[in-house]
A and B are shown apart, each in its own frame.
Chain A
Amino acid sequence: MVPIEHVIGLSSILFVIGMIGAATRRNLIVVLMSIELMLNAVNLAFIGFNRLWPGTAEAPALDGQIFVLMVITVAAAEVAVGLGIIISMIRNRDSVNLEEVSLLRW
């Protein structure tokens, strides 16, 4: 089994890749997918740390994995609503370009 530091390193690499995607792309769907990638990286970090402190047989410590379940649930809900927003945007403006949604920009 690899040391947990490598798992956390992989998680940070994936997080940075997701951050690049969310900050630089103009297509709203790719931004949403990059956010999903960031959430996945965080899940990996949770599970890695949980593996480092697994508790004992009488008192198992599975809190990290429960948190990951909740993160997956929240991600599913967020994707559903986010895609609904994208569909309304397409109906109103016929494009998913982020730079066109700038009515509230000062």
Chain B
Amino acid sequence: MEVSAILFYIFAVMAVVSALGMVLNVRNTVAASLSLVVTMIALAAIYVLLEAYLIAVIQIMVYAGAIVVLFLFVIMLLNLREDDFAPGRQWLVKFGAGLLGVFVLIQLLKLVGPGLPEVPVVPEGYGGYRQLGILLYTDYVLLVEMASLLLLSAIVGALILAKRNID
């Protein structure tokens, strides 16, 4: 077992445990969002192991560093109370837990079962900022423009929704 495989399993377990910590945490919403941050950092570490370096850094900078901070602002400013699982939905929780158990079982069976195909070697510069930059500005430049328009409309929308009085 090489080091990257062991690291992958460690980060995978960390991601799953903190995701469960976020979803099942009914008493403390701030602790739930901090578990989400742990999940995102674990996922960023897995992206580095999968050699998608720029995406890993962007995940930490944007997701863990800004989006969840925004969640925390809203939670702290509004001082939200605790809540519970919806009363009529307990069966859904059990069903979901069953589904989860099935998936985990499949994964464990794959670990001990017959061998799985090998992963190909990556070419030079894969996942680096140069290749992604070239692609973004030549083949996918329209996507970049649309993304910027989308973000602009989101900024304007969020401002209007959160403003106290529109004059």
Residues of chain B whose beta carbon lies under 8 Å from any beta carbon of chain A: 2, 4-5, 8-9, 12, 15-16, 19-20, 22-23, 29, 32-33, 36, 39-40, 43, 46-47, 49-52, 54-55, 58-59, 62-63, 66-67, 70-71, 74-75, 78, 80, 83-86, 89, 92-93, 96-97, 99-100, 103-104, 106-107, 110-111, 116-120, 122-127, 131-132, 135-136, 140, 143, 147, 150-151, 153-155, 157-162
Contacts and interface: CB of A to CB of B under 8 A. Distances in A.
B161 A81 contact: yes
B85 A33 contact: no
Contacts of A51: 50-52, 119, 122
* Interface of A: prevailing SS: helix
A52 B126 CA distance: 12
A20 interface: yes
A95 to B, nearest CB: 8
Given A17-B23, A77-B150, A85 B110 contact: no
B116 A96 contact: no
A50 B83 contact: no
A23 B67 contact: no
B150 A74 contact: yes
Contacts of B126: 54-55, 60, 62
A25 B92 CA distance: 11
B16 A80 contact: no
Interface in A11-63: 12-14, 16-21, 23-27, 29-30, 32-34, 36-37, 40, 43-44, 47-48, 50-57, 60, 62
Given A75-B67, A76-B67, A83-B71, A2 B8 contact: yes
A105 interface: no
A92 B89 CA distance: 26
B52 A87 contact: no
B43 A40 contact: yes
Contact of B5 (A2, A48, A57, A60): A2
Given A23-B89, A81-B157, A9 B132 contact: no
B67 A70 contact: no
Given A37-B36, A57-B123, A65 B52 contact: yes
Given A24-B89, A57-B123, A83 B51 contact: no
21 contacts: A3-B116, A27-B80, A27-B83, A29-B80, A33-B22, A33-B36, A34-B22, A37-B22, A51-B122, A57-B124, A60-B123, A60-B126, A60-B135, A62-B135, A69-B147, A70-B147, A75-B63, A77-B150, A77-B154, A83-B74, A87-B162
